[in-house]
Amino acid sequence: TPVIGVLALQGDVREHLVALAAADAVARPVRRPEELAEVDALVIPGGESTTMSKLAALFGMAEPLRERIRSGMPVYGTCAGLIMLADKILDPRSGQETFGGIDMIVRRNAFGRQNESFEAAVEVAGVPGGPVEGVFIRAPWVESVGAAAEVLAEYDGHIVAVRQGNVLATSFHPELTGDHRLHALFAEMVRAAG
Ligand code: GLN
């Protein structure tokens, strides 16, 4: 059985561990390069992407992570995790760096102040059984994707789910709902990559 890590520098790590277990995956937190080396795949949680970027550098995780993603490790990022997987951020804070992995340009906090958090039904390509309940919390959207990236979902005319090869990213937080279909989709990607 493949082991899926959850990057545990910052963010909603525990919720992802629970969701992965519910999707019949073996999951554990990952903080250090030695722990990263022992997992087959990784989830990058929601949280705060500038903080996550700084902590990744501090813990010596940024380069090892870029290297694993480049060499094909399956990764799934939610919200701040989606931002970390973008090759480019539109409005980076100073010193903010991403791991990259998806040829896309991301706008942070895009869904705006007047409506910082909301839930909406989102139809996701490849997820059977009807729309998922999307929880958006100061969520980013994807401004544009390159040719290699596949748009899996849009909400209100904006891209909110993308896949490129073994890298999956959503603007919303399925780990905060009881619906584990996106984690199941990711676990399936991980098994297929193994
Ligand atoms: N706005 C946050 C950021 O820019 C993301 C919020 C979230 O992960 N819920 O990192």
Q: Which domains does the chain have, with CATH numbers?
A: 3-193 (3.40.50.880)
Identify the three-state secondary structure at position 115. helix
Spatial CB neighbours of 46, under 8 Å, sequence gap ≥ 6: 11, 12, 78, 79, 80, 81, 137, 173, 175
Q: Catalytic annotation on 16?
A: no
Using a 6 Å cutoff on CB, does residue 109 contact ligand 1? yes
Number of Cβ atoms within 10 Å of the Cβ of 76: 31
83 labelled binding-site residue:
no
Residues 6+ apart with CB under 8 A from 129: 181
* Active-site residue, 150 included: no
Model ipTM? 0.94
* pLDDT averaged per 10 residues, the chain (length 194): 96 97 96 98 97 96 98 98 97 88 97 83 97 96 98 97 98 96 97 93
Residue 92 pLDDT: 83
Establish whether 48 is an annotated binding residue.
yes
Q: In DSSP terms, which residues pair with 28 in a beta bridge? A: 5
Between the two ends of the chain, the Cα-to-Cα distance in Å is 9
| Ligand 1 pocket member 83 (CB < 6 A) | yes
Between CA 190 and CA 76 the distance in angstroms is 10
**DSSP, res 181:** H
Structure tokens at 145: 């994707």
Per-residue pLDDT at 114: 59
- The model carries a pTM of 0.97
User: In this structure, are strands 41-44 and 3-7 parallel, antiparallel, or unpaired?
Assistant: parallel
Catalytic residue among 15, 16, 173, 183, which?
173
**Residue among 7, 15, 97, 108 whose CB has most ligand 1 atoms within 8 A, to mutate:** 108
Distance 169 CA to ligand 1 centre (A): 13
